[in-house]
Structure 1
Amino acid sequence: MGTACGAHAVHDGYTDVLYVMLPLWQSELGLGYAAVGALRGLYSGAMALFQIPAGSLGDRFGAGLMLAIGTVMAAAAFPLAALGHGFLPLAAALVVGGIGASVQHPIASAVVARAYHGVRSRTALGTYNFAGDIGKMLLPAGTALLLTLLPWRTAMWALFAIGILAAIAILVATPAGHGRPAAKTLARPGTAAPVKGGFRLLLAIGIIDTGTRSGFLTFLPFLLAAKGAELPTIGLALTLIFAGGAAGKLVCAWLGARLGVLRTVLLTEGLTAIGILALLPLELEAGLALLPLIGVALNGTSSVLYGTVPELVPESRRTRAFGIFYTGTIGAGALSPIFYGLLGDWTGVTHAMLAVAAMVLATLPLAVLLNRAMRRHIAAE
């Protein structure tokens, strides 16, 4: 559990360090916003595409080895970016980093799911999910501070050193072959049997949830700027919503274990839609006060969804199931800002936000269908 959480913190921290670096790369290379978006998309796209192959390699060679290799590759993106000059070398470095980052989600999630069974797996996966947010808060902030002391190319080597140390720690803490699913496993309490159609419904909910979250976060700075916020205030707003999101992942994992998937998804997605709609007419100060609560609901659903995967698929198929799940959700997070961006160009930021809130509500009937599928499965056992 500790190894999985540590890997999640490092990998998610690396992913969000890009938000710190992109303005510097834009300025140094004279890039337009489309090129900046392409760089971010290459990283996310590589991470999404290699989820399933990474999970298969983890099953074959063991979780520890593959997590260590992935961590080194994710870390290597930064010195490769520092050594290169121009858009293409930078793009290639980010593809390498995205491939490395793809390893962590399916493998570490499956390791946690194998270690904890039944309802406990949902809470454990929520804790694992929360660890990623710790990395998102610490590594970007630490990198921003480091950039005030060192040239950015030098600072990239410090990030690489963190990855090397993390990879060594993973290898030391994880026995050889650990994380491979057993070829044959006896039925035991809490071991999931397939729920017909359940995983597809869960994946659909996850895709919509991640896509709307990404769309909201993309347009939030523009909405706040329209309310009169300057850059420091926008930075504070993002900190508030990410802090609320980190708390939401823990709180909603706990709620999911006690209330079940349906009630928790109805609660979190309903509050997300209400929060977005309430934010639109509010003045800036009141809107800032609301953001932590929106963050709790906005990010909390993901813990419930990740934690439900082990309940829908048998242990021998979980690594692949997590790979498919993360492929869909990460891909949605990469593509949805393009869709909402086109809508925003056409109708304005406010209408794009209204579309985000409306799309959130599409998860509610899917959650009802998922609950019915799980109830029918339980009744048939």
Structure 2
Amino acid sequence: MRLPDFSPSLTQQTDSAGRQVAPSRSRVLWLSCVAHAMHDGYTDMIYALLPVWQADFGLDFAALAILRGIYAGTMATLQLPAGRLAQWLGSRATLALGTLLAALGYAVAGMSGGLLGLCVALAISGSGSSTQHPIASGAVSRTYGRNARGPLSIYNFSGDVGKSALPAAISLLVTMMPWRHALWMVSALGCVIAVVIALFFPSIPRAAPVDVEAPDHRRSTAGSGFSLLFAIGVLDTAVRMGLLTFLPFLLKAKGVSLPMVGTALALVFIGGAAGKFACGWLGARMGVIGTVLVTEGGTAACIVAVMFLPLALTMALLPLLGVMLNGTSSVLYGTVPEMAAPERTERAFALFYTGTIASGAISPVIYGFLGDRIGVHGATFATALTALAIFPLALALRPHLAVEERR
């Protein structure tokens, strides 16, 4: 699908017959991608800052876990309120304010003098980041309508760009200046992006444009269809986070050194970023169900292969493992709009992201307890079984999708 050119208008446009058409699509997509990269970068930047804060404030590992949990917890729990806020203020204002709040949270962190100040700062930043996923993904979905799967894959890929860029940037900056000054620099960048969003993000109507109106089947099947999609998203996230918990231990058992573990994980993440980008477009051509079955089946096969293959073949397989691990998510995110009426898109995305974020936080703990009971190999094999458990859910989802998807 070819992306349309930028349009100079910032508001809803009309054609020669006076009918409403979609706002400037490319501008919605690319500004949503910028917001996604910034917010996801802020989210993962904490990992690079934890050692700095531990050394500066003398924090123990429990305190560091609290800091990470506060950011993730506020971001997850406020997704639904953020969707409701967008219905009142509009997507542009909510996304701009959320980006500004996320940036100011890190500015406050740069002024903090201890654990309490950091907790408050990260709660502020996490609250701001809660707006991005439901608002930006909902805006892309409503703008592109039934053709949103491909653009949503680009949107999801942009988050991985931010996760790679900002932690690397802050790690470099703290070697060149005090960490507080480094935080103020990345906070200033977020403030600039918030202003850009406020000025240039197109106003998007609550109802879908006439040419992308939701089909009747969406209204009749949204409840049960969304529940199945939600369950698939939760299990898919659990597989990904559970495997990443055990992968370093599997590699160490094969004789991989600690620096090489980092390289191996980088290979998985590179493949994951490619998977998010490619599988969204693949889903638009191959169908949601077919793509999910391929990626989840491939995930299970790659997990088993990583457990038993020799080291050289395992390292070669890791990028493909990343593609399979992350590929499903783009297809699922692109299907969320089919399960909701256009005016409830933000709420649907908020629910979906809340479930996947919560799964990402809880599933490593569950698999960790399982690993203590049956060992690393047994728990890793359980992640492969979880991937296969998605098969019947995906097949049950098929009747709830569009007619074109079922053919």
Q: What aligned pairs does 1:83-94 form with structure 2 within 5 A after superposition?
A: 83-94=111-122
Deviation at 1:78, TM superposition (A): 2.1
Deviation at 1:164, TM superposition (A): 0.8
8 Å contact from structure 1 (residues 61, 180) kept in 2: no
How many residues in Structure 1 have an aligned counterpart in Structure 2? 374
2:288 matched residue in structure 1: 261
Which one-letter code corresponds to 2:399 in the other structure?
R
Q: Does 1:130 align with 2:130?
A: no
Gaps of 5+ in 1: none
1:199 matched residue in structure 2: 226
2:259 matched residue in structure 1: 232
CA distance in 2, matches of 1:27, 1:348: 33
8 Å contact from structure 1 (residues 122, 308) kept in 2: yes
CA distance in 2, matches of 1:30, 1:275: 41
CA distance in 1, matches of 2:160, 2:209: 35
CA distance in 2, matches of 1:29, 1:340: 32
Deviation at 1:8, TM superposition (A): 0.5
Deviation at 1:203, TM superposition (A): 0.5
Deviation at 1:226, TM superposition (A): 3.0
CA distance in 2, matches of 1:227, 1:25: 33
CA distance in 2, matches of 1:190, 1:240: 41
Identify the structure with bigger relative contact order (alpha carbons < 8 Å, sequence gap 6+).
1
1:345 matched residue in structure 2: 372
Q: What aligned pairs does 1:148-159 form with structure 2 within 5 A after superposition?
A: 148-159=175-186
Structure of greater Rg: 2
Identity rate, percent: 50
8 Å contact from structure 2 (residues 237, 360) kept in 1: yes
2:174 matched residue in structure 1: 147
8 Å contact from structure 1 (residues 63, 180) kept in 2: no
Which one-letter code corresponds to 1:134 in the other structure?
V
8 Å contact from structure 1 (residues 60, 180) kept in 2: no
Seen in structure 2, the aligned counterparts of structure 1 residues 20 and 66 have a Cα distance that, compared at 3 Å, is same
Deviation at 1:375, TM superposition (A): 6.6
Residue 150 of structure 1 aligns to a residue whose secondary structure is coil
8 Å contact from structure 1 (residues 39, 91) kept in 2: yes
8 Å contact from structure 2 (residues 280, 330) kept in 1: yes
2:73 matched residue in structure 1: 45
Gaps of 5+ in 2: 1-28
The TM-score, its normalising length taken from structure 1, stands at 0.92
Q: What aligned pairs does 1:16-31 form with structure 2 within 5 A after superposition?
A: 16-31=44-59
The TM-score, its normalising length taken from structure 2, stands at 0.87
Deviation at 1:347, TM superposition (A): 2.9
CA distance in 2, matches of 1:91, 1:234: 31
Which one-letter code corresponds to 1:181 in the other structure?
R
CA distance in 1, matches of 2:160, 2:60: 29
Which one-letter code corresponds to 1:172 in the other structure?
L
1:181 matched residue in structure 2: 206
CA distance in 2, matches of 1:225, 1:86: 36
Deviation at 1:320, TM superposition (A): 0.8
Deviation at 1:76, TM superposition (A): 2.3
Which one-letter code corresponds to 2:289 in the other structure?
L
Which one-letter code corresponds to 1:255 in the other structure?
L
Deviation at 1:86, TM superposition (A): 2.6
Deviation at 1:180, TM superposition (A): 4.5
Which one-letter code corresponds to 2:116 in the other structure?
L
Deviation at 1:207, TM superposition (A): 0.7
Deviation at 1:130, TM superposition (A): 0.9
Which one-letter code corresponds to 2:140 in the other structure?
V
8 Å contact from structure 1 (residues 59, 179) kept in 2: no
Deviation at 1:19, TM superposition (A): 1.6
8 Å contact from structure 2 (residues 45, 170) kept in 1: yes
Deviation at 1:239, TM superposition (A): 1.7
* Cα-Cα RMSD: 2.0
Which one-letter code corresponds to 1:243 in the other structure?
I
Seen in structure 2, the aligned counterparts of structure 1 residues 221 and 63 have a Cα distance that, compared at 3 Å, is same
Deviation at 1:159, TM superposition (A): 1.1
